[in-house]
Amino acid sequence: MLKGKWMHTYVESGPDDKWEIQYQGQVLDYEGPTSWRYYPLVLVQLYSFINGSPTYQQLIVVDEHTRFYDTNEDMIEAYTVDN
């Protein structure tokens, strides 16, 4: 179950095509694949990288560039390791 999990999405960025965190947030809802859409979606409460406050909610496609964490602390630890 993804609802309630914390997450990062990653994108290729920079001159060396390094993978960097694009979004960070907590999953509010999950919708699995359907007969007309083969990929799952999550509704996420996004949070600021600057001060950690909630910013806005967004639908995000779950793919190989999405990582999920059980706790906010796990997500923060992954951020500090990646940056």
Tens digits of per-residue pLDDT, 51-82?
Answer: 999 999 999 999 999 999 999 999 999 877 76
Residues 66/39, Cβ–Cβ less than 8 Å: no
Residues 68/5, Cβ–Cβ less than 8 Å: yes
pTM, rounded to two decimals? 0.86
Q: How far apart are CA 23 and CA 43, in angstroms?
A: 12
| 3-state DSSP helix/strand/coil % of the chain, to nearest 5 | 15, 50, 35
Q: Give the pLDDT confidence of 37-56 residue by residue, as tens digits.
A: 888 999 999 999 999 999 99
Whole-number Cα distances in Å, 23 to 33, 34, 38, 48, 52:
22, 25, 22, 9, 12
